[in-house]
Structure formats: C-alpha cells, structure tokens
Structure 1
C-alpha cells in the first residue's frame, strides 16, 4: 500500500522572515502594554517573541528601527480595520461617526503602544528621526482618505482630523489612568453628537463657518 502521507511544504525564506518580523512586532506591542515603553527592552521583546536576541538584531539593527516598524505596521493595520468596520456596520460613512470608529481602533493595545512610542520621540533623537517623518506621512495619507470621503479643503480637513484623532488618543490615556469606561465612552459619544449638530450632512464643508479665524 502506498504511503498517503502528504509532504509538508517548506516555507520560503521570505515567509520565514515575515513570520519572525511579525512575531517581533506583536511582542513589542505586548511588552509595551505590560511594562511601558521604557521597560520594553530588546531582550524582553526577543524573549516574548520566542527568538534569540541575535535573530532580532538580524531583522532590526536597533531598538529604534523596531519601534518605527511597529508604528508603520499598526497604521497599515488600522486603515484596514477602519475599512472592515465600515463594510460590516456602515459606521464611518458620516463624519460624525468617526469619534466612535477611532475609539474602536485607537483604544486597542496596538494604538496605545504607538502613542507611547510617539511620546518617547521627545527624549530619543534616533527614534524621532525615524518615527516623526513616518507619522507625518501617516497623517498625510489619512488626510487624503478623509478628504476623499468627506470633502473640504486641506486646512479644514486637517483641523477636523486632528481634533478627532487626538481627542480620542487623549481619552485613551485617560482610560488607562482613570479606568471608568462608561464615562470615557460618553465623552466619545458627545464629540460625535457635537459634530453631527455642526455638520448634519456629515461633510467637512458644513463646518466651514466654525473654522473661520
């Protein structure tokens, strides 16, 4: 009788590399969530990922390079998450939906990890050199998406986007240190309602009179 065992397919080097890098990114997010940015050492991250420190350094020569890749990965993943939520629930089809949508995504451990990395750029020039330009590029990409969906000129859209994103990020910090989720969610809901009253059609141009200096 012939052996019916199906041979295992060997992974390519590219697949192994992608798997290891993803494990390190996930481990970094977990380590920052557990021990904070300062406590998330490369040794601890490598242990959490189940790889040697040498293997980690093969993929990321410095801690700053790893943190920068975390920011890049999280942004790409968040954009996919926004689209998934919009497709499944319809939430996000109006401008005033976005505080709730942002809260659903930015309040996750990955969003909090990015926030800690951004804060750390103040005292780490190497990290700032990698992350700040990336964050600026992220903002430009998000701004293009927002204008495509809700119109408005660039200055208007940037003002509204920063109001929503950084209000939600600030509330995510409050949630960590003042863990009263119902109150935080009430604040998110209020921001959405204020935007709905100001722009009932869900378009940025409706907010024009409020943005005149």
Structure 2
C-alpha cells in the first residue's frame, strides 16, 4: 500500500495475523479435499502461498498446525451458522427453513473438515484433547441456536430430547452425504421432520 508520502508499512502483528489465517484456511481446504492423512505441512504452505520456512516458524509440526486449525474451524462453523440463522424467513415455512439451514450446514465443507478431525482424534490423544472440548462447545452453541430458532420450550418433558434428536438427524444425514450426493433424500426427510416438529412443538393448526 502506498501514499503520497511513499509506501505504508503493514505492522508486523497484522502481517502475522494474515499469514496465520491463510495457513489455517489452507489447512481446512486440504482436510476437505485430501482428508487428514493426505494433509501435510508442505501442501498447506503451498496452498496458502506461504514459504515453507514461514510456515514452520508459526507451526513447526503438522499437529501444531491442525490443533490451531481446530479452533479456527470452530469459529468458522459458528459464524456460518449465525449468519444463516440471521437470514431465516418467518411464517408457516419457518421450521422447514430451520431444518434446511441445519441440513446445509452439516453437509458443508466445514462439517467435512470437522469430520476428518473427529476420525483422526479417535486414535490420537493429543488431537483429541484439542478437538473434544471445542466440539462440545460447538454442540452446545448449535443446540442453543436450534432451541431459539424453533421456539422450543425445554421445560416441557421430551422437548430437549426432540431437539437433540433433530441435531442427531441432520448430523447423520451430513455423514451420509460424504459418501454420495444425498440431496434428494435429505430434502424429503427434512420436510417430514419439520412437520413432526411443528406438530409436537406448536400443536395442531
């Protein structure tokens, strides 16, 4: 960046933040495209357009890089859900829109990246220590958001379990979608479940 007085120096702190963000975004992209086993620090640095030396300075090992990416991915998933929730329509199709939002989220690239980390963490204690607490945080926030969007009263017996079943359903549909495109079946299932939620939560029309 230049001004009339000459080039403007970008503060070191800002350059570091931008470089780290590029590396973490590249890590998520690699997890989606190549899986955990196929993700390497070399591939990440190439994709991020960052020198190998600079990458090693910030993240000296793959585990250090992936652990940092876990938190980055947690923030990204939360931001995407919040943005989608803010644009939901009101009216008679609201519950269906909530289900579509959740279904889309659990079929999105950020969910696929998270899924790769879950599988890897099952046999990696160090990674599990990072993934476990953050995944619990995502779960709590997603549950809270779903309760709010559905207007669910969890003081009513069975309603909390219904919300949990809803999230288990969309998570399972997202998992099925990683094997093959499951869009048409997912739409039918989510439509049916939206009707079920409206019947239980709102009562007969």
Normalising to structure 1: TM-score of the pair? 0.76
Task: Write out aligned runs for 1:1-213 (5 A).
Answer: 5=4, 7-90=6-89, 97-146=97-146, 150=151, 151-153=153-155, 159-200=161-202
RMSD: 3.1
Q: Which runs of 5 or more residues in structure 1 are unaligned?
A: 202-213
Distance in 2, Cα, partners of 1:148 & 1:156: 16
Q: Tell me: CA distance 1:77–1:71, structure 2 relative to 1, closer, same or farther (3 Å).
A: same
Alignment check: 8 A CA contact 1:98 1:164 kept: no
Structure 2, gaps ≥5 residues long: none
Distance 1:87 1:143, change over 3 A: closer
TM-score by length of 2: 0.78
Tell me whether 174-183 or 161-170 shows the greater mean CA deviation. Answer: 161-170
Cα distance, 1:34–1:141 mapped onto 2, change above 3 Å? closer
Q: 1:118-167 CA deviation, whole Å, 9 max, x = no partner?
A: 12111111101111122123333444445566441599676344423332
8 Å Cα contact 1:143/1:157 also seen in 2? no
Give yes or no for contact 1:99–1:188 (8 Å, CA) kept in 2: yes
What do residues 64-100 of structure 1 show as CA deviations (whole Å, max 9, x unaligned)? 3332333322332333333323333336996664321
Query: 1: distance between equivalents of 2:90 and 2:13?
Result: 36
Distance 2:156 2:56 in 1: 40
Aligned residues: 198
8 Å Cα contact 1:33-1:113 kept in structure 2: yes
Q: Is the 8 A contact 2:23 2:55 kept in 1?
A: yes
In structure 2, C-alpha distance between the alignment counterparts of 1:40 and 1:158, rounded to whole Å: 38
SS of 1:152 mapped into structure 2: coil
Residue deviations 1:152-204 (CA, integer Å, cap 9, x gap): 15996763444233322221222221224222222233222222222127xxx
Return 57-66 or 143-152, whichever deviates more. 143-152
3-state SS of paired residue (1:179): coil
Aligned partners of 2:8, 2:156: CA distance in 1, in Å? Answer: 50
Name the CA distance, whole Å, in 1 between partners of 2:22 and 2:29.
10
Separation of aligned partners in 2, 1:127 and 1:153: 36
